[in-house]
Amino acid sequence: MTVEAAGLLADFSKQRLDGDGLETLFATARAARLDDARSLLFAGAVMNPTENRPALHMALRRGGGGGDVADQVEVERKRIRLLASRLRSGELRGFSGQPLKHLVCIGIGGSDLGPRLVCDALAPPRSAVDRERFDVRFVANVDPCDLHLALADLDPASTGFVVVSKTFTTRETLANAQAARRWLGAAGAGNEAGARHLIGVTANADAAVAYGIRADQILRFWDWVGGRYSLWSAVGISIAVACGPDAFDTLLEGAATMDRHFQEAPLEQNLPVWLGLMSIWNRNGLGCTSQAVIPYAERLRLLPAFLQQLVMESNGKSALLDGSRTSQPTAPVIWGVSGTNAQHSFFQQLHQGPDVVPVDFIIAREPELKPASDDPRHDILLANCLAQSAALALGKPPPDQAAGEDWHKAFPGNRPSTVILLPRIDAASLGALLAAYEHATFVASVVLGINAFDQFGVEYGKVMATSIEAVLGGKPDEGIDASTRALIRHIRQPGRLR
C-alpha cells in the first residue's frame, strides 16, 4: 500500500479498503481504459473536446507530450529566464530611472494560485541583510483593499506589475491592472513611461498590446495550457523572480520526473494513479463528500487553496464526455489548512463527528531549517502528523457502557487518510507533488468519464455580474430577479428594499 515516485513516498495503508477493494478499484480503472487515456494525453490528443484542445502542460516542463510545441516552449522559457534575471539584477528601470525592486503580480484563479503557492513555499525570506533582494507580491481580489494593502509601503518609482491573464479579458484582473496604472500615473508616470513598469503574461497577446503593454514585455503561453495547469508556463515568472530562474527550472524538472513516472509506471505502481483512485474510492465508494488536505508544513499552507481549484474546477461537473448527465458523484469538496494549526480547530470533528472526511497528510522528512540540537519542533511536527493519521485510522475500543463510559470520549476510528512524505520542501519535491496531484485529478476524471479541462461552470455568474454591475452603475434594474433587485436598492439606498 506504499508507492514511491520522484522522491515522494505515499502511504495508502490507512485507507479503508482491503485486497478485494483494491482489485475492484484497479479493475474499474482498467474498464475506464485509463491506460489508453494516459497514452492519448501524452500523445497530445484532444483531451478537452468541448473546447477542442489538447492538454499539454507536461510539455512546459519537458515532461513529455506535445512534440510540436517544444520549440515555442523553449523560446518562451529563455525569455522568462532573461526577464527574471534582468529584474533580479536591477537592470529594468522605471519612469524615474530607478531600478524596479518590487513586483506586484495581478491575476486570479489559475493565474494566481499556483505561483502564489510556489513562491510562498520556496522564496527565501527577506532578511535584514538582503533587504535589497527582489520583493514579489500577489493581488487577486477585485476588492480594492487587496491592491491597496499590497501597495501601501511601496514606491511607484521602483514597483513593477505583472498582469497575468490567459484570456486577458478577466474583469477583476483588468480592473486591478487599471488601478495600478492610475497609481503609477498619480506618481508622475505618463502612459509611455508607465508602460516600462508593466509586464503581461497571456495567451492573448493582441489584447495585452491593445491594453497598453509593450510587445517586448509580454510573455506568452498558449490555449493548450489550462489556467489551473499554467504555473509551469510564463505564469510562473513570479517564481523565477522570487526564487531565482534555477529554482524555477528545478521545479519544472521535479514535475517532469513525476510526468515520466505517471506515463511509464504500470497502474499498480503508479503514484498519481493510486492518488486519483483513492479519491474515487472515498467519494464514489464510501460516499465521503469532502476531502481534507493538511500539509504539516507551514511552507505548504496554500496547497489546499491550489488544490481546490485544481480538483473542483477540473472535476466538479455533472456532464459526462458525451454530454449526458452523470448519475454518480464527481469531485469531493477540497478544503484544509496547515497542521498542527488544524488540530486545534476542526480536528475535533474529523475524529468524532458522524461524517467521515478522508485526509491527505503531507509532511517533509527533513526540516527546512537545520534545528539546534535542543530544538524538538520538527520532530513535534512529524509526531503530530503521524499521530493524527494513526488516531483517525485506529480509534479506540468502543465505550464500556457497563463500566459507565459514554460516547464523549469515544474514537470510532476507521477514518481513512493518506500520508505523502517529501524528502524536504524544495523545488524538485514541490514540482513532483503538484504534478502528482494534476495527474491524480486526470485519473479521477477518466474513471468518472468527464472532461477535466473545461470550466463552463464559472461563466454564468460572470455574465450575471456584468448585468448587475451595469445596474449598480445606474442602468434600469429590469430583468433582475426580485431578491437581487431589492439587495441592489438597499445597497444604493439603505432601508429601501422596494
Active site residues: 313, 344, 462
Q: Per CB under 6 A, does 197 bind ligand F6P?
A: no
**Minimum gap (Å) between residue 108 Cβ and ligand F6P:** 5
Q: How far apart are CA 279 and CA 29, in angstroms?
A: 12
The residue among 313 and 360 lying less far from ligand F6P, judged by its C-beta, is 313
**Cβ atoms of 93 and 463 closer than 8 Å:** no
Q: Does 455 bind ligand F6P (CB under 6 A)?
A: yes
CB 9 → ligand F6P: shortest distance, Å? 31
Non-local (6+) Cβ contacts of 24 within 8 A are none
Query: Which of 38, 88, 228, 261 is close enough to bind ligand F6P by CB under 6 A?
Result: 228
Site string for ligand F6P, 378-417 (x = CB under 6 A): ----------------------------------------
Q: In this structure, how many other beta carbons lie within 10 angstroms of the beta carbon of residue 293?
A: 26
Residue 110 lies near ligand F6P (rule: CB under 6 A): yes
**Among 8, 34, 103, 111, contact with ligand F6P (rule: CB under 6 A):** 111
Q: How far is the CB of 107 from ligand F6P (least distance, A)?
A: 6
Q: Minimum CB separation from ligand F6P for residue 165, in Å? A: 3
Among 66, 115, 227, 236, binds ligand F6P (CB under 6 A): 227
**Whole-number Cα distances in Å, 294 to 321, 347, 388, 496:** 32, 11, 11, 45
Is-contact 300 341, C-beta < 8 A?
A: no
- Residue 387 grid coordinates: 499521530
Looking at the Cβ atoms of 163 and 189, the one nearer to ligand F6P is: 163
Which residue's CB is nearer to ligand F6P, number 176 or number 250? 176
| Subset of residues 31 to 70 that bind ligand F6P, contact rule: CB under 6 A | none
Whose Cβ is closer to ligand F6P: residue 263's or residue 309's?
Answer: 309
Q: For residues 131-170, which are near ligand F6P according to CB under 6 A?
A: 165-167, 170
The answer to whether 432 contacts ligand F6P (rule: CB under 6 A) is no
- Alpha-helical (H) ranges within 164-236 are 171-186, 191-195, 205-211
Please say which residue, 25 or 231, places its beta carbon nearer to ligand F6P. Answer: 231
Q: Which is nearer to ligand F6P, 165 or 418 (CB)?
A: 165
Contact 120, 239 (CB under 8 A): no
Q: How far apart are CA 227 and CA 173, in angstroms?
A: 14
168 within 8 A of 208, measured Cβ to Cβ: yes
- Which CB, 235 or 425, lies closer to ligand F6P? 235
User: With contact defined as beta carbons under 8 Å apart, do 425 and 367 qualify?
Assistant: no
Amino acid letter for position 271: L
Distance between CA atoms of residues 164 and 191, nearest Å = 19
**Kind of pairing between the strands at 333-335 and 218-220:** unpaired
Residue 212: all three cell numbers together? 497598453
User: Does 429 participate in binding ligand F6P (rule CB under 6 A)?
Assistant: no
**Within 10 A of 177 (CB to CB), how many other CB atoms are there?**
28
Site membership for ligand F6P, residue 109 (CB under 6 A): yes
Residues, the chain: 498
Determine the Cα–Cα distance for residues 280 and 25; give it in Å rounded to an integer: 8
Binding flag, residue 308, ligand F6P (CB under 6 A): no
Pairing of strands 2-5, 8-11: antiparallel
Residue from 14, 38, 92, 173 binding ligand F6P (CB under 6 A): 173
**Window 311 to 330, contacts with ligand F6P (CB under 6 A):** 313
Residues that bind ligand F6P (CB under 6 A): 108-111, 165-167, 170, 173, 227-228, 313, 455, 458
